[in-house]
Amino acid sequence: MKKYLNLTILIISIITIISGITQLIIPGFVLRLTGAEVSVTSSHFFAIIGMFMTLFGALMIQTVYSKDTGSAVIFWSALQKLGASIAVFAGIMKGLFAFQAAAVAGFDLLSGLLFLYYLQYRKRNEGH
């Protein structure tokens, strides 16, 4: 179980890094992909979000390979994923994003829930 759970968390973290770097470097592409308005301002703020996505993804990779449970890291990374999900769903409801952005929100929602499960799993198996 641990092998597959760690691998799943690792894959989510790598996807987060890749999407974060993409959003950082070419935010207009991601904005168009999600059906959002592309402007200098929206591109700038989307790039900032991409930077934080990259950092959180890298932090989770480091945590997966750490002997310490990294409880705080996993908890705050889960909240980041859940918060991103809520923000994207809210953006869809406000008409800022097209419906296809729901795939992003759903991925973040499931990732956040899985991170919370992973946190409990690591706490239970600490020292083993």
The least confident of 22-31, 52-61, 117-126 is 117-126
125 band by pLDDT with thresholds 50, 70 and 90? confident
Q: Average of pLDDT values for 117-124?
A: 92
d(CA 78, CA 60) in angstroms, rounded, equals 10
**CA–CA dist 17, 33 (Å, integer):** 18
Domain count, the chain: 1
For residue 3, pLDDT over 80 is answered with no
Domain of residue 102 covers 2-124
Report residue 20 CA to chain centroid gap.
8
CB 81 within 8 A of CB 115: yes
